[in-house]
Amino acid sequence: IHLKSGSHTGVRNYSGYYFPENGTPVIFSVMINHGKASGQKLSSAAGEIISSIVTGTGFIRTGGQSVSR
């Protein structure tokens, strides 16, 4: 995974791309705006979202709940 992150007060951004060995490249961008949680929790949530996108699992957890994309 090639990833670039950026942040500003209340905003976190992550963009990047992933080249699976046998598949189509995956390009992604995640922006969290007006996040109410701590920076660590926001980064962790973004990591789960990115992992879901890259692995194709289609499930992310938000507030303890699983959400299908």
Cα separation, 19 vs 31, in Å, equals 21
Cα separation, 69 vs 67, in Å, equals 6
> What are 42's two structure tokens?
């926001």
Residue found by looking up tokens 């699992």 in the block: 57
Residue type, 62: T
Phi-psi region of 64 (alpha: psi -120 to 50; beta: other; left: phi over 0): left
User: pLDDT for 50-63, tens place per residue?
Assistant: 888 888 766 555 55
Does the pTM surpass 0.75? The reply is no
> What are 39's two structure tokens?
């920076």
Q: Residue 18: is its pLDDT beyond 50?
A: yes
